[in-house]
Structure 1
Amino acid sequence: MNDFKERIAAELTAVRGRSLAYTEAEDDLLVRQHSPLMSPLVWDLAHVGNYEELWVLREAGGITPLRPEIDDLYDAFKHPRKNRPSLPILGPVEARRYIEGVRGRVLDVLDRLDPESSDPLHRDAFVFGLVIQHEHQHDETMLATWQLSGAAGLVRDGELPPGKPGGPEEVFVPAGPFTMGTSTLPWAYDNERPAHRVDLPAYWIDRLPVGNRAYADFVEDGGYDDPRWWSPEGWAWRRETGAFAPQFWTRDGDTWWRTRFGRREPVPMDEPVQHVCWHEADAYARWAGKRLPTEAEWEKACGWDPEAERARKYPWGDADPDPGLANLGHRAARPAPLGAYPAGASFYGAEQMIGDVWEWTSSGFQPYPGFRSFPYREYSEVFFGGDYRMLRGGSWAADPAAVRTTFRNWDHPIRRQIFTGFRCARSVSAERSELR
């Protein structure tokens, strides 16, 4: 096996290690549904194996199906998450045995893969990039499930670099065109393609994500009780849910507390705020006299290099992420302090745009000009339109293999169990509101 295939094998091993680590728990915890928003953890475990069987073994390898009778059970588009506990899904022992059997045959397919094939599923090992990223995404979903479960001691933590206070609040992005999306990154999804030119007016964007201290100021200023800051849909959501702060926050005297993977702790005021939905981010931005950036504004500030006239894969360039550049890959079970990664800044000086928290933008989910579904419509095309809002950048729980400047994530504007935050922007022609 050559170096290229050995790197893919290593990625397959690493992602499977994550999946197994996040399902090392009592069977009762794995088969239970901890929230109607999430699947039982054992469903996710078997699903990643079934997805790998479908795409690597059957589609790319031409191998006879191993367990065709379970395909329907693990079809994410046929069964909403809230209904999955009622399905006759595999138990923990059987699920582990199944995915192990799939993986042994997957490595055989890898060994005979021709990455220079004209078949787009084979070329550049796209099919392996597909299943590796898919499994990492489910690993992040598993972490969100554990957060909702309230179970303590099951998710590891770790050390992060200190923050570096100071510096400008905003960075300036001049007017002009840039290239959005990609036509060249081999493992990019269909919704990131094709590359196309977008011309933007000048704007300002926050250098850092909005932090807990700034968000607490919004809460304590009555932000959740003042309809001026909320869209009609957001105000209806706020009144219906009774939300008064980010999810998992509580107030005890003068101190804000949060529950993080089953442990209660004071809210660290120097971290990016997380577990806020789009409506909360939108209301805060309006209270601050700003707005959420569009998806195009976010991507230009993150990855465009006007001197080289090209897009970077990451804010700092094309070098792979490392612990000195971004908080990715579950190095710790939380965002890093604000200002912890100055070396990871973009050309324009925006920091922590990759890792820490997914960042809400103002944009809905739409295809790029010239979009073509590949390898299946259900990954992107069926979600275009509707009320989805775009998320960018990846969180601390996202793996480096599954994030890049062009990566597009999306969710409903009411979702906040995911590891989401945001940063604000403002147009150059707009003065900051002084209503508050």
Structure 2
Amino acid sequence: MVIKQTGDIAPQRLSAEQLSCEFSDIAPLLDASAAAAAASRCHYCYDAPCVNACPTQIDIPSFIRKISNGNLKGAAVDILSANPLGGMCSRVCPTEILCEGACVRNHQDAKPVTIGALQRHATDWAMARGEALFKRAGETGRHVAVVGAGPAGLACAHRLALAGHNVTIYDAHEKAGGLNEYGIAAYKTVDDFAQREVEWLCSVGGIEIKHSVALGRDVDLDALRKLHDAVFLAIGLTGVRALAMEGEDLSGVMNAVDFIEQVRAANDFGTVPVGRRVVVIGGGNTAVDAAVQSRKLGATSVTMVYRRGVESMTATWAERDFAQTNGVTLVTHARPVRLIGKDGVVTSVEFERTSGDGTRERFVVEVDMVLKAIGQTLVPVGIERELLTLDGSRIAVDANGQTSLPDVWAGGDCAATGGIDLTVQAVQDGKIAAASIDAQFARTAVKAA
């Protein structure tokens, strides 16, 4: 959805120089001396809690020790063998609640080892040199369809390709990457990193990507099952929850995910229209990314409003702090009541706030742009109802990612795996499904013999 330039929504809020500064890398790459110093703080714990906190189970002490010894290739192998999207995860993982949050250093000097930065140091080094870290097994003659080129689909494809199977990825977008390409704030992944990572991942061989092919529109599940030995569904959550209230159709009101995609797709950030007074409704990472990018594009005031307290927000404390450091005002315990407009254009939002004693008050925030970030939903186009959970919100799978169909697996945000909705968890889902598919191929081969 491209928002109309009505009211006070316009591009070119800032100069090209200002925008270049605002959207520069927020966590620049460590140099060799800084990486050595950071690595020296690791205790190389035998029963490392950081490993247990990582959904992909990267051997963190091992790769950090290799960095300290100057063996960056070995460190990259440790990381990417466990997480083929380790470069992206080093940029976007909420390390403060995962590996770094579990670091024993927190109990000593309240400062964890900077695991994410060290992970990026090693993976960026390897990718910049085009290192051939993995060798593909011999051809098995098996062919798997992967629907969706996001983190789960790419991770699954990579594991299957390494095992010698051929993989065709079908993706509805013009570029692969899923949320890594379209749904993450531009300041987190600069220099077209998402595409460079896809190119590296596919360089192992045996992976073909077909773009602009959507399940239920251009291809159906039955056809994929007939053409391939197995199918892995990694279609993500492409629907957006509505506020379901008066004024939602006013000009100036849009989904935060669409706004983020506009920013990500822009060759020139100055062409992206943004309001002077922006309200973002929601409390997750999408809300934070939309709010911060609004400020970075030149919005004068940005207010992020969440219906519960900060303890209930899915955005981590680090994300909240980053938003507030960048000039975003956070309002909690308030829910939107109605969107108010004039001549078809949004002009304000009325909220109701609940205080600690249960009393309620109404207040109005003047706006010219409202971004909705209250969650995404599964759009089960092309998927049989019997594959879904009882409430229809996700694809039902077992512990290995297998659906009720013997040759269909699913993973990532679209599947009810019980994991957290993060890039790193989606990667793990893809790995688990790939292992299950490969094991089933091995069983059927034995039976045939």
TM class by shorter chain equals: under 0.3
**TM superposition score normalised by structure 1:** 0.27
**TM superposition score normalised by structure 2:** 0.26
In terms of Rg, which structure is larger?
2
